[in-house]
Chain A
Amino acid sequence: MSVIRKSSLDILSVGKWILRRDCRLLSAVPEKVEVAEKAQEEIEKLSGRKRRFNNPVLEYRHVYPEFLPDPNPKWRNSLREKMERADMLKRRSQIDIPEFYVGSILAVTISDPHAQGKTNRFVGICIERKGCGLRAEFILRNVVDHQGVEVKYELYDPTIQSIQVLRLEKRLDDKLYYLRDALPEYCTFPQDMDPEMLPEGTPVPLNPVQVKLKPKPWLERWERQDLKGVSNIEEHLKEKDRVRRELRKTPWEKYDLMKQYRKTIPAEDQTEIWSEVYNQLQQMRVSRKKLSRKRLFTTPKPQLG
């Protein structure tokens, strides 16, 4: 397990990269927002401070992606979505579902009728997060006793007792399915890992580690997926694979505005949703922070942050 800590300069540049990527992802937001964001970025650069977004829409769609409905118009139903959001908030008032991303390392404790102590804890790296509303789910992967194990959890499952983020970070790709074909050291995490605390106000760090794949056969054709987090993909390819990759490329898709539009929720809809849930989410956040601070004061740990 290798943790690459970057210097503060690097973190700044990474933050900028994330910003840029955000702009691209939110295709439906009018350009004004982007311009405003850029201006903010420049202000940040000038003042030399790291600050998070003030606009809740821009921040919350990454922190709470499951609050946005599926963009497919066939599956939209405003009443159902509203009820689901209410249920999600109710569940969130019961347990703390923290902010995490694909690539973060989580520990999930569930109450398991099959286990001896009636609880079951699993530690692993989040390789996939998908679904919206109450159907939101994520997959954790770990290598236990030299055996790769993956467990899928639903985020709003009532049997989940706690979700703990042991290391909050992002990776270079949106899905980490290639870890299944990577060398086992890249997804081996000890079950008794200690949570790493980030100082407050820092942006989520990006882990630029590039994994090494095992030789073929692979589970998928990774060479066609334009992965950034794999270093040795070219070693394993034959001439035939390279030719086919060239033939299968779709370079025009980044210009397909309609395709992007269909994949995203328009900014107007988003503001409606976020205005509905923002207050409660913010309240929960603040109260959780207070609670954790209290706990910190009662049991001070050495070397925080």
Chain B
Amino acid sequence: MFRSLINRLSSAQTCGIHTTPSLNEVRLLTRLRVVDNSEIGKRAMAEGKPPKVICVYNKKRVGLIGDRVMVAIKGQKKKGILVGLKQNQKVKVPKFDSNNIVLIDDNGTPLGTRIHVPIPTILRTILKERTHAKGADYTKLLGIATRFV
């Protein structure tokens, strides 16, 4: 009986069961968690239909902290900024238990008025670098944060 079980398992292993842990990267079609109090975000999270990534705006198409993403949320296209990742981070950069996003509009103004989870401090520098004089101002997001870690 044992041998038959082993055979069955070994055959199952060749059928593409991964034994390596997942990288938890933010890519196309990753589900995210909206952490601000915007109306659309709150309703999407309450309904159990969290937004999906449909584009990550960088060269590698893998989202890092502070990257801009376009998400599909309740049948609409919205832009957002990644403010916390599940993926392994560098030393001294916090790693979160979920992939967090704050929704913004095209000018960089957040749709909500509060963020109810902690925000990594490194985001200050990153968002300041991303902001140019004539383009969108992403640093408005830092104003609505409640706590930094």
Which residues of chain B have a CB within 8 Å of any CB of chain A? 5-6, 9, 21, 35, 84, 89, 91-98, 100, 116-118, 121-125, 146-149
Q: A144-B118, A157-B91 are in contact. Are A115 and B97 (CB under 8 A)?
A: no
**Residues on the B chain within 8 Å of A159, using CB:** 92
Which residues of chain A have a CB within 8 Å of any CB of chain B? 110, 112-116, 120, 122, 137, 144-154, 157, 159, 180, 219-220, 243-244, 247
**Residues on the A chain within 8 Å of B94, using CB:** 122, 149-151
A145, A154, A180: residue with the most chain B Cβ atoms closer than 10 Å = A145
A66–chain B nearest beta-carbon distance, Å: 15
Cβ contact within 8 Å between A148 and B96:
yes
Q: A145-B116, A145-B117, A219-B21 are in contact. Are A152 and B149 (CB under 8 A)?
A: no
Cβ contact within 8 Å between A150 and B148:
no
**Residues on the B chain within 8 Å of A112, using CB:** 92, 121
**Residues on the B chain within 8 Å of A154, using CB:** 91
Within the assembled complex, what's the spacing in Å between the Cα atoms of A112 and B93? 11
Interface of B is mostly: loop
B91, B97, B100, B125: residue with the most chain A Cβ atoms closer than 10 Å = B97
Within the assembled complex, what's the spacing in Å between the Cα atoms of A153 and B117? 21
Cβ contact within 8 Å between B149 and A122:
yes
**Residues on the B chain within 8 Å of A219, using CB:** 21
Besides A145-B117, A150-B94, A157-B92, 6 new A-B residue pairs in contact (Cβ under 8 A), listed by A number: A114-B123, A147-B84, A147-B118, A154-B91, A243-B5, A247-B6
B79–chain A nearest beta-carbon distance, Å: 22
Cβ contact within 8 Å between A153 and B92:
yes
**Residues on the B chain within 8 Å of A243, using CB:** 5
Within the assembled complex, what's the spacing in Å between the Cα atoms of A180 and B91? 19
**Residues on the A chain within 8 Å of B21, using CB:** 219-220
